[in-house]
Amino acid sequence: MTKRALITGITGQDGSYLAEQLLNLGYKVHGIVRRVALEAPDQRFGRIQHLLDKLSLHAASLESYPSIFHVMSQHDFDECYHLAAQSFVAESFTDGFSTMNTNINGTHYMLAALRELRPNCRFYFAGSSEMFGKVRETPQNELTPFHPRSPYGISKVAGFDLTRNYRESYGMYACSGMLFNHEGPRRGFEFVTRKITSSVAKIKLGLASELRLGNLDAKRDWGHAADYVRAMHLMLQQNEPDDYVVATGETHTVREFCELAFGEAGLDYREYVKIDERFLRPAEVDLLIGDATKARTKLGWKPTYTFPDLVREMVRYDMQVLGDRRSDAAPVLTTDSRVLP
């Protein structure tokens, strides 16, 4: 019997990679999108444009329980991947109210609708390393206490607790992935990794002369989104629901990312990167590095991309996009993009 999966946030980085993977596994894939996206597919569906004829998309809003309830009432699902969120940490400081409303209520609405209509549907919640925030131990694992340092991190802790509560109170198959930073060529331009690689491409092609960043010494555990969506799927294939840290176990600074990215284009980052205090966080998190031992042993998961692989792919893709844009033929990146020359 063909499995049916619902993905919220299907138009985002993770949603597009996950949709690809599930389709390759023979799933029927559904996605929840805002109605405005359906009205402007050319602008909103860039990451899933090559999949549109294989997907079933439904208009709904995470801020509207009735719209989510309607989708659940019309379609049965075996698995639900709740990826949609206001996920840009800096924006959460600027507008904490909408971040809380979308991320916390949206998760609650999804769980409540599933419990009412599709209690046997397996539910995945996209947690975040930002939940750990001011860490008490390094590396962080599933037992590390949370101390979020941003409205975004706080909203993710609330979503994690909601998910666990529905699992323990109502017997639902509901689990969370505490995913550390995962990037790729489909990352939004507001995130520091894509900001760096897109700026490298612009500078190399003479379209920009500098890149302004905040804390170059901030350290993160960076992996590739294509690897991390595999872990999401594996979590919902286990006999019992549980929560998992997904990470590479390596940490790198923003400075290291810059050095590799500019180096890929034959440039020295020190000549182009300028420090701008506007991009410093009001409260910075400490060293985030994940211990994914549980995911490795119980799920059989491990990353396939190295840190240099990730940076190289992102730079090469942005170089290709800028070059092709002049001929209006931007490339579509699939998960086997490491074959790019």
Q: Is the pLDDT of residue 127 over 50?
A: yes
> 140: which strand partners?
290
For 24-85, the three-class secondary structure string (H helix, E strand, C coil) is HCCCEEEEEECHHHHHCHHHHCHHHHHHHHHEEEEECCCCCHHHHHHHHHHCCCCEEEECCC
What would the mean pLDDT of 10-18 be, rounded to a whole number? 97
- Structure confidence by residue, pLDDT tens digits, 202-250: 999 999 999 999 889 888 999 999 999 999 999 999 999 999 999 999 9
Alpha-carbon 265 to chain mean position: 26
**pLDDT of 324:** 73
The pair of structure tokens assigned to 259 is 């050095």
Query: Residue 310: pLDDT above 70?
Result: yes
- The CATH superfamily assigned to 192-220+251-286+306-332 is UDP-galactose 4-epimerase, domain 1 (3.90.25.10)
Tokens of 78: 């075996």
Q: Which residues neighbour 95 within 8 Å (Cβ) at sequence distance 6 or greater?
A: none
Catalytic (active-site) positions: 128, 130, 152
- Higher-confidence residue: 100 or 174? 174
pLDDT score at 92 = 52
pLDDT one-digit tens code per residue, 56-67: 999 999 999 999
Instruction: From 253, 13, 242, 285, select the one nearest 140 (Cα to Cα).
Output: 285
**Domain ranges (residues) in the chain:** 4-183+222-246, 192-220+251-286+306-332
* pLDDT higher than threshold 90 for residue 103: yes
- Predicted TM-score (pTM) of the model is 0.90
Average pLDDT over residues 68-91: 87
Residue 234 to residues 79, 81, 273: CA-CA distances in angstroms? 11, 12, 40
> From residue 339, how far is each of 20, 261, 309, 333 by CA, in Å?
17, 18, 11, 11
More confidently predicted of 120 and 335: 120
With cut-offs at 50, 70 and 90, classify the pLDDT of residue 85: confident
Residue 87, pLDDT score: 59
User: How confident is the model over 248-260, as a mean pLDDT?
Assistant: 96
Tell me, yes or no, if the two domains 4-183+222-246 and 192-220+251-286+306-332 fold the same way: no
* Superfamily (CATH H level) for 4-183+222-246: NAD(P)-binding Rossmann-like Domain (3.40.50.720)
Query: Cα separation of 337 and 17, whole Å?
Result: 12
Please name every residue paired with 4 in a beta bridge, in sequence order, or none if there are none: 28
